Amino acid sequence: MADRLEPPKKPLGPSTMSVHGGEPRQKPAHALTTPIVQTATYTWANSQELKDYFDGKIDERIDYGRYGNPTQKIAESKLAALEGAADCLLFASGMGAMTTVLYALLSRGTHVVITDDSYRRTRQFLNAMLRRYGIEISTVPAGDYEALEDAIKPTTRVLVSESPTNPYNRILDLERFGAIGRKHRVKTVIDATFATPYNVRPLDWGVDLVMHSASKYLGGHNDLLAGAVLGSRDLLGGIRSLQATTGAIVDPFAAYLLVRGLKTFALRMERQNQSAQAIAEYLATHPRVERVHYPGLPSHPGHDIAKQQMRGFGGVVSFEVRGDLDAASRVVDACTIPYIEQPAIMSFYELTTEERLQVGIKDNLIRYAVGIEDADDLIADLAQALDRAFAES
């Protein structure tokens, strides 16, 4: 009689994965929680152990802090489990992750295509820095897949985009994006910071590399800086080698904070998704709000694609008030619970109004990063802020 096959295991739920995913059952020093291994260097039992390590006979060792740390490796395993990735590499910041990836994949004479609504600092790095090293950059309109494909050249090595975008929450068709990359044999890179692996896993849709600023939703407490890149072991191998040289590494304490923050990751995202949806729906009917940019609303141009590829629509709601720069500032200042942002005087303050409009940033735009507070309280606070702001005008 043939051996009976074991039934496939049911995948763990997102909260169970957040708590236990990627962490060994038996942790160092028999600790219940992953400990902070605060060291720069490591010791060896004897010279033979060191030789065996460099001969590849010992895998689970680290020889210097710039090449890794036990706390970091557990954080990476945890993120890889949540993202459904074969490998993960942590960095000192999200930009540290993005710049190292681009340095690893590009060289003099090569070409990269980026969508025009990708993170501002990523676009600045490409256009202001990499052009100096003989790398060609093409910028195409977000959502124009024909323009994206037409921009590809024989020298193209990477396609870069973001979904949802900051601050307008534009949604990329990840499956189509990945298919274009495979058709032309170029790597695809997605910044999925706003989505998080709770809401979408770009690797499942055929994207090669996914990036995160772990300082945001992954850490969840505004107390750490870190970045992550996830993908296949082959792709991350070259990136890891470059990181070991350039040194854009995460410190053990930040890695520990990330592991701690991820324990409540699924719970936080579920609440933030629900609250952001409620806030977006409230703002969409408010007489002092011109437009709301949230993919959970049917009015959002990316709503249908978002429904297909996302579990939830994220915790950022961007909206335009009826009025000018000062009107938006009064709304921001009148809020008493959250700390919200007006992009025109935060990230883009050094630009004139005309220059801001050229890059799509309106003076009356507000970006609201929703937390885990009760949605009713946040909506009531927004209501009084809008009333006060326009009563003062």
Phi, psi of 320 (to 5 degrees): -110, 125
Helix, strand or coil, per DSSP, at residue 189: strand
Q: 187-191 and 209-213: which strand pairing?
A: parallel
pLDDT tens readout for residues 28-59: 889 999 999 999 999 999 999 999 999 989 88
Q: Is the peptide bond preceding residue 164 cis, with omega within 30 degrees of 0?
A: yes
How far apart CA 19 and CA 266 sit, in angstroms, is: 9
The DSSP H or E segment spanning 87 is strand 87-91
Whole-model pTM: value is 0.92
Say whether the peptide bond before residue 295 is cis (omega within 30 degrees of 0): no
Neighbours of 328 (CB within 10 A): 24
Residues of the chain with pLDDT under 70: 1-8, 348-359, 392-393
Torsion angles phi and psi, residue 98, rounded to 5:
-65, -45
Identity at 241, one-letter amino acid code: S
pLDDT digits (tens, 9 = 90+) for 83-141: 999 999 999 999 999 999 999 999 999 999 999 999 989 999 999 999 999 999 999 99
Widest distance between CA atoms in the chain? 84
Contact call for residues 314 and 194 (beta carbons, < 8 A): yes
Q: How far apart are CA 64 and CA 50, in angstroms?
A: 12
Contact yes or no for 296/303 (Cβ under 8 A): yes
- Shortest CA distance to 321 belongs to which of 364, 369, 383, 282? 364
- Burial grade of 376 (CB within 10 A; 0-12, 13-18, 19 or more): exposed
**What is the pLDDT, as a whole number, of residue 357?**
67
pLDDT value of residue 184: 98
Name the β-bridge partners of 319.
292, 366
Residues 283/291, Cβ–Cβ less than 8 Å: no
Tell me which amino acid residue 186 is: V
Round to whole Å and give the CA distance between 266 and 252.
Answer: 23
pLDDT attached to residue 2? 44
- Predicted pLDDT of residue 1: 39
Which pLDDT score is estimated for 10?
79
Nearest residue to 235 (alpha-carbon basis) of 162, 180, 186: 186
Q: Measured between alpha carbons, how far is 337 from 279 in angstroms, rounded to an integer?
A: 14
Report the alpha-carbon distance of residue 384 to residue 364 in Å, rounded.
18
- CA atoms of 239 and 85, how far apart (whole Å): 15
**Amino acid code (one letter) for 250:** V
What pLDDT was estimated at residue 168? 94
How far apart CA 188 and CA 182 sit, in angstroms, is 8
Interatomic CA distance for residues 272 and 261, integer angstroms: 15
The closest alpha carbon to 247, from 102, 34, 64, 24, belongs to 64
Residue 355 has a pLDDT of 65
Give the list of residues 6+ apart from residue 283 with CB closer than 8 angstroms, or none. Answer: 289, 292, 317, 319, 382
CA 5 to chain centre: 39
Say whether 62 sits in a helix, a strand or coil: coil
- End-to-end Cα separation, the chain, in angstroms: 84
Rounded Cα gap, residues 369 and 272, in angstroms: 9
What is the pLDDT, as a whole number, of residue 361? 82
Give me the amino acid identity at 352.
T
Q: How far is the C-alpha of 32 from the C-alpha of 244, rounded, in Å? A: 30
